[in-house]
């Protein structure tokens, strides 16, 4: 993210460290040059989703107005790169061609944003016309040939095809969830990932605490055997190899699961919570997670704190292998 850290910015940051002042959106980097454990976001931003990389650049979506904020994980310096449409930007994923895929929450849409320019490349309607059940497009995962979105209010996923060059289609198809899927009265399908083989999808039901393996061709869902472990309040997910990180938002913790290759079974191997954090940071309802190197980064949505223009929000860093 060298475009954000100019020589003058370095000078301002150095002056701030000496004087005690701190530029907006920046963090006092430790003297040893390590990445900070806590990174401030703009006051009132109301973060929800996060995407990282390539490189130490992160993007965040605002559930307040849909703005996309870019920052350096190294310095904390950041800026809004794309003005929102006035509706939420929730789950985010980035690809290797500078595209951000954005879950649009109550808008029932997905946006694809150029992370270099902030331009909206696609504004894709996902949900059908409004019904008695409002839509809530919550999260997204990228596969080789598609972007998949969850709807927390309706038992279905949305598929946006991606061409051989990664270019997204302008329309989406709907995949109803069937098989063992049980729709809850509260938020249902939330975080989404892929199985270790990449042949199927994993979807967490926030209210029931169940994890499902979903066949992307048929929509048939099979409950993943977690040996009795519950994932209530399950929100964003991240898979790294056969390790699945599931953020349990209001519990202020991350469940770390070891999956079988098929994704049909898994076991809870540890939990990351406030005891694993540096003394300079904290959890306050983290919603999702992304990884850079050996560290995890989580935006704190602070759902239990009144949202005002002056409410502070931040990103928390934690070791990916914390709790062992």
Model confidence band, residue 25 (pLDDT cutoffs 50, 70, 90): very low
Strands 78-82 and 313-319: unpaired
* Per-chain mean pLDDT for the chain: 90
pLDDT value at residue 1? 43
pLDDT value at residue 37? 97
Does residue 20 carry a pLDDT above 50? no
Average of per-residue pLDDT across 248-258: 98
CA 61 – CA 81 distance, rounded (Å): 11
Three-class secondary structure of residue 103 per DSSP: strand
Does residue 11 carry a pLDDT above 50? no
Quick one: 235 exposed, middle or buried, by C-beta within 10 A (0-12, 13-18, 19+)? buried
Who has greater pLDDT, 24 or 263? 263
Average of per-residue pLDDT across 159-164: 96
- Our measurement of the distance from residue 224's CA atom to the centroid of its chain's CA atoms, rounded to an integer in Å, reads 22
Does residue 158 carry a pLDDT above 80? yes
pLDDT over 90, % of the chain: 84
Who has greater pLDDT, 264 or 322? 264
pLDDT value at residue 75? 95
**pLDDT single digits (tens) 29-70:** 343 347 999 999 999 999 999 999 889 999 999 999 999 999
Who has greater pLDDT, 23 or 162? 162
Model confidence band, residue 322 (pLDDT cutoffs 50, 70, 90): confident
Three-class secondary structure of residue 323 per DSSP: coil
**pLDDT single digits (tens) 187-243:** 999 999 999 999 999 999 999 999 999 999 999 999 999 999 999 999 999 999 999
pLDDT value at residue 19? 30
Can you count the helices (H) and strands (E) in the chain? 1, 25
**pLDDT single digits (tens) 120-131:** 999 999 987 666
pLDDT over 70, % of the chain: 88
Strands 47-52 and 57-62: antiparallel
pLDDT value at residue 34? 78
Of 232, 224, 237, which Cα lies nearest the Cα of 251?
A: 232
pLDDT value at residue 54? 85
Of 207, 213, 159, which Cα lies nearest the Cα of 183?
A: 207
DSSP element (H, E) containing 290: strand 290-292
Does residue 146 carry a pLDDT above 90? yes
**pLDDT single digits (tens) 64-103:** 999 999 999 999 999 999 999 999 999 999 999 999 999 9
Model confidence band, residue 286 (pLDDT cutoffs 50, 70, 90): very high
pLDDT value at residue 90? 98
- What is the residue extent of each domain of the chain? 7-319
Average of per-residue pLDDT across 170-184: 97
Model confidence band, residue 22 (pLDDT cutoffs 50, 70, 90): very low
Tell me the CATH class for 7-319: mainly beta
CA 66 – CA 50 distance, rounded (Å): 13
Residue whose entry in the numeric block shows the structure tokens 């310096």: 77
pLDDT value at residue 8? 34
């Amino acid at each position: 993210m060298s475009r954000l850290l100019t020589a003058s910015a370095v000078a301002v940051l150095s002056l701030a460290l000496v004087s005690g002042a701190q530029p907006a959106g920046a963090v006092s980097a430790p003297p040893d040059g390590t990445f900070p454990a806590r990174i401030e976001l703009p006051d009132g931003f109301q973060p929800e989703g996060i995407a990282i990389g390539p490189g130490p650049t992160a993007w965040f979506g605002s559930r307040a107005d849909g703005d996309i904020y870019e920052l350096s994980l190294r310095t904390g310096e950041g800026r809004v790169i794309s003005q929102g449409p006035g509706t939420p930007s929730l789950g985010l994923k980035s690809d290797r061609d500078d595209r951000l895929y954005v879950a649009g929450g109550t808008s029932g849409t997905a946006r694809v944003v150029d992370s270099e320019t902030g331009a909206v490349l696609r504004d894709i309607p996902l949900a059908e016309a409004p019904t008695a059940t409002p839509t809530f497009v919550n999260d997204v995962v990228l596969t080789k040939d598609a972007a998949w979105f969850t709807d927390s209010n309706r038992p279905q996923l949305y598929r946006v095809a991606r061409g051989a060059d990664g270019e997204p289609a302008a329309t989406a198809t709907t995949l109803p969830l069937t098989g063992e899927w049980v729709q809850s009265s509260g938020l249902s399908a939330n975080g989404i990932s892929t199985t270790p083989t990449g042949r199927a999808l994993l979807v967490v039901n926030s209210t029931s605490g169940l994890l499902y393996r979903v066949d992307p061709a048929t929509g048939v869902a099979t409950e993943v055997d977690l040996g009795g472990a519950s994932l209530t309040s399950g929100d964003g997910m991240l898979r790294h190899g056969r390790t699945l990180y599931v953020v349990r938002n209001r519990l202020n913790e991350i469940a770390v699961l070891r999956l079988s290759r098929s994704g049909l079974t898994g076991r809870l191997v540890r939990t990351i919570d406030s005891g694993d954090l540096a003394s300079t940071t904290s959890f306050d309802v983290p919603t999702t997670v992304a990884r850079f190197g050996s560290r995890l980064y989580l935006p704190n949505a602070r759902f239990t704190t009144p949202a005002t223009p002056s409410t502070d929000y931040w990103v928390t860093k934690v070791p990916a292998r914390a709790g062992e």
